[in-house]
Structures are given as structure tokens and as C-alpha cells.
Amino acid sequence: MELIAVVKRDCPTCLLVEPVLGQLKARAPLALYCQDDPAFPESLGGALDDRMLERSWRLGVEIVPTLIRLEDGEEVARTVGWDRAEWERVSGAAGLGPGLTSFQPGCGSKTVEPGMPERLALRFGDLHLAARPIEVADDDDPIEVAYDRGWTDGLPIVPPTDLRIARMLGGTRRKPDEVIGLIPPNLQPLTVEKAAINAVMAGCRPDYLPVVIAAVEAALMPEFAMHGLLCTLYFSGPLIIVNGPIAKRIGMNWGGNALGQGNRANASIGRALQLIVRNVGGGIPGEIDRAVLGNPGKYSFCFAEDETDPGWTPLAVARGFPPGSNTVTLFHADGVTGFADQAARTPDDLARSLAMGLWGVTHPKVAGWGGAVLVLSPDHYEIFRAAGWGRTDIELALKAALRRPGRDMVTGLGGVAVGVAPERAEDTIDKFHAETFLLVRAGGRGGLMSAIIGGWTGQRNPAAVRPVTKEIAL
């Protein structure tokens, strides 16, 4: 039998058990390690030096004092803090600590101090970063180095140090070397580690990383056509809509200014996806990204749906996922168009009014070329809710209002050349394909206004290009 004890001087309980350690050392082989001062305990001639914390790390020590019994080199028993009965059980020795209190809790090990688990995992553990390190001279600014190397979206990034990457990887159970997929346009492999690096650069917290990974996985689904979206001349880029309890847990915004600035989770998750496309896939503006104008959402476009009303069917549920699922939905989004209707007071009136705004997506005389996301604000939603309308009722009313006779849209009508072919004059035409129209709730109270987010013209073929939803693996 062999005993191992791990202590630190800066721990009242470790000071308390000093005489007990002396009792044990007199009875059996005892390997005594100290995390902060190898001169302690002086009465025993000091301890083995574990100020680098390697032994504590390899033993999995989280509380001191820790007492461990080994048999034939294998751990068979352990206790933490001071509990006379437990120490006697682990050591097999009776009569320990006469005159001492029978119980006193221990202190936190130095291995669990902030930032230390990641440092020790890098130093002694199985966390080996594969990405090539970039040396930065002492008098160089890492942020300027990132600009010079083309790693940014035009805004400063957080330098991805080993420690920051290790902390980010702590947000997922997935292995750093796992390949998530091939990122277009260059079809370069994205590992979990590389996703974590870009999440660091974007300003994410570790608990955002599962959402970032799910967003990447969704973007790589063939029906999202990410490569085509990158190459388009149109305005569009990926929009991320988050559903499920994770949105609240990581502090996402679905309320006031949900489509704007100010929320770290919203901003950095959307930005991380864009940086991955740029830094791993090579989707660089002016090169493969040939957008004529683009839109500010190509920095970052991400928000959560408001699920606070139990009577509302969340987007993820409407798209076939069980209630309570954590998901991301990706849409090929243009910019935000504001819509205000301060006069409508019945659900039918409001649906018709919203449809008039939605007809402006792409062009008022063009149908089926681009989808849309309608972000319904709380005050507009209240008009529907007060009348007993839920998601299905609203969607059906909008679908009916988003139909027009072809004769109102034919080319040349009103002196506007764009439009449908004259032979479709007698047809009834839907503005959107059903697969490319999404209804979402978000926003703050105080105004009868909602938001319309138009979609990429590539959605004119929904069999090949359509929004996608992916469950977030925690």
C-alpha cells in the first residue's frame, strides 16, 4: 500500500491536518506533494515540489487536502478535505487526529483556479493544438498583424492565443482534430480547433461554440448552397436564427434591437461563421465574393426567436423539430427593410398590410425569385394573438394575401419592363415559394412595426436552394 497526499500552505484545512500527515508517514509510505511551498509542512521536513502542478493535474486533484491510497500502483480509494472517518477508511489507520474536529471542508486546488485547467491541459494533458503558431515580435501589435495577414473582416479581432483557444475548446465535447466539413469556396477542411480559433477571433465565449459549429454544419448542407451564396453578385449572406433553451442560457437577444448591435452572443456567433468562411474557405470580398453591394449583415447576422409566449409555435417546431430543441436555422439574407403599420387593428387587415410590404422583396413585379423572413414584433403579434391567431393562421392569411393575378404583374405594365410573361396574365401567382418564406417573432415593445428580410435570388429553385435547420449538439 502507498499513500499520496496533496496539500498547499494557503489552506487552513491543510494546516489543520499537518499532525495527521505525520501520523500517516510514521505508519506507511507517504508521498506528500505541496502546490505552493515545498517547505510545508516544516514538521515533516517539507514536501515534494508540485508548484508546476503536474502531479496534481495527473492525479485529478480539485480540492486540497486530497488523500489517495494506491494498491500495486492503482488508485483504490480517495478522500478530500478533512473527515476523520474517511481518512481512517482510506489509510486503514485508526486514531487519526486526536483532539482535532472530526470534519472540516477543504480548499480549492490551485489546478482549478481561473484559466489554470486550460494551461495545464496544454502543458501536461492531451490537448495538442495542430494549428501552426504565428510568432509575433514583442514590439508588434497582434491585431495589426492580423490585419496585415488578411484574417479580419475589417474590424479588429481577438488574438487567438493558445490559452484562449484551449478555453474555447472547453465549450464542446468534440475532439479538436475532428473535421466538421469542407469550407467553400476552396473546400478546405475545418476542424473543431480551427472553428474555435475563429470563434476566439470573433469574440465568442466558450459556451457559444456549439452554436457556431451547428451554424457551420447547417451552412455545409447541400441544399443551403453556401458556395453559390458566396459567389453571388446579389446582396445576400447567411442569417442565423437560434431556437431553444440555449438562446437564453448563453444570453442571446430576441427583444429590443434584436437585429442590431449590442449583444455579444448575437454579434460574435454570426461573425464567427463569416470569419470561418473567410479564413478557412477563402471567401474574400473582391475575389470569390463578387457582391455588387453586399449588406452589413455580412459582418454578422444572428438573433434568437422570441419563445416567451407558450402559445406560439417556434420556428424550429414548425420546421419539424421537437419542442425544446436547440437549433439553428440558416437563411440566405439580404438587409433589413423596416415595415410600419400603425393603423391596422384586426388580424385580416394587418396580414394584408404586411403582404404589401413583402411584395417589395426583390421587386414588386417579381415573384418566386427570392424568399423572405418576416420578423413579427410583439406589438404587431399582439393584434394576431388577441384574435386567437397562431402561427398557422398568420401564415395562411399571408399566403392568401401574397397572391396576385398575373395581369397585374405582366412585363411592361405601368411602364416597367420587369414582370412576368404575358402568357401568365390569367394565372394566379404566389410571391414566394412556401419553402423560402419564414415567420419569426422577435423585437421589443413600443411600436407597431416589424421587419422584412429579403432573400437571395438563388432561392428561385427551392429544390436546390432553401433555408436549412440543424440541431445544436451540446
What's the confidence (pLDDT) of residue 127?
A: 86
What's the confidence (pLDDT) of residue 103?
A: 97
Residue 317 lies in a domain: yes
Residue 126 lies in a domain: no
CA distances (Å), origin 344, targets 189, 293, 448: 51, 34, 9
Please enumerate, as own/partner, the contacts of 188-194 that have beta carbons within 8 Å and a separation of 24 or more.
188/280, 188/281, 188/282, 190/216, 190/276, 190/280, 190/281, 191/130, 193/129, 193/130, 193/131, 193/165, 193/169, 194/131, 194/276, 194/280
Residue 474 lies in a domain: no
Same-domain check for residues 61 and 160? no
Four-residue CA torsion sign, 213, 215, 221, 226:
negative
What's the confidence (pLDDT) of residue 128?
A: 85
Domain CATH code at residue 72: 3.40.30.10
Q: Report the candidate in 366, 299, 330 with the shortest Cα–Cα distance to residue 156.
A: 299
Q: Name residue, grid cell 487526529.
A: 97
Residue 199's identity, in one-letter code, is A
Q: What is the DSSP-derived secondary structure letter of residue 473? A: P
Q: Report the candidate in 124, 7, 133, 132 with the shortest Cα–Cα distance to residue 64.
A: 7
Same-domain check for residues 178 and 277? yes
Number of structural domains the chain divides into: 2
Residue 333 lies in a domain: yes
**Domain end residue (candidates: 90, 113, 136):** 113
Same-domain check for residues 61 and 185? no
Residue 150's identity, in one-letter code, is G
**Domain end residue (candidates: 62, 90, 113):** 113
Question: How many other CB atoms are there within 10 angstroms of residue 355's CB atom?
Answer: 19
What is the pLDDT tens value at each position of the chain, 474 positions in all? 899 999 999 999 999 999 999 999 999 899 999 999 999 999 999 999 999 999 999 999 999 999 999 999 999 999 999 999 999 999 999 999 999 999 999 999 999 999 899 999 999 987 889 888 888 888 999 999 999 999 999 999 999 999 999 999 999 999 999 999 999 999 999 999 999 999 999 999 999 999 999 999 999 999 999 999 999 999 999 999 999 999 999 999 999 999 999 999 999 999 999 999 999 999 999 999 999 999 999 999 999 999 999 999 999 999 999 999 999 999 999 999 999 999 999 999 999 999 999 999 999 999 999 999 999 999 999 999 999 999 999 999 999 999 999 999 999 999 999 999 999 999 999 999 999 999 999 999 999 999 999 999 999 999 999 999 999 998
Same-domain check for residues 263 and 374? yes
Whole-angstrom distance, CA of residue 104 vs CA of residue 106: 7
Chain length of the chain: 474
Radius of gyration, CA atoms only, the chain: 30
Q: Report the candidate in 186, 167, 171 with the shortest Cα–Cα distance to residue 129.
A: 167
Same-domain check for residues 108 and 161? no
Same-domain check for residues 173 and 47? no
Same-domain check for residues 385 and 250? yes
Same-domain check for residues 100 and 201? no
What's the confidence (pLDDT) of residue 125?
A: 83
Q: What is the pTM of this model?
A: 0.89
What's the confidence (pLDDT) of residue 138?
A: 86
Same-domain check for residues 349 and 423? yes
What's the confidence (pLDDT) of residue 108?
A: 97
**Domain end residue (candidates: 113, 130, 159):** 113
Residue 130 lies in a domain: no
What's the confidence (pLDDT) of residue 379?
A: 98
What's the confidence (pLDDT) of residue 126?
A: 79
Same-domain check for residues 156 and 213? yes
Same-domain check for residues 166 and 25? no
- Measure the CA dihedral 167/161/198/130, to 10°: -90
Residue 127 lies in a domain: no
Range of the domain at 74: 2-113
Query: Is-contact 436 372, C-beta < 8 A?
Result: yes
What's the confidence (pLDDT) of residue 474?
A: 87
Residue 118 lies in a domain: no
Residue 136 lies in a domain: no
CA distances (Å), origin 373, targets 5, 152, 334: 61, 28, 10
What's the confidence (pLDDT) of residue 41?
A: 97
Same-domain check for residues 85 and 197? no
Q: Which residues contact 260 (CB under 8 A, 6 or more apart)?
A: none
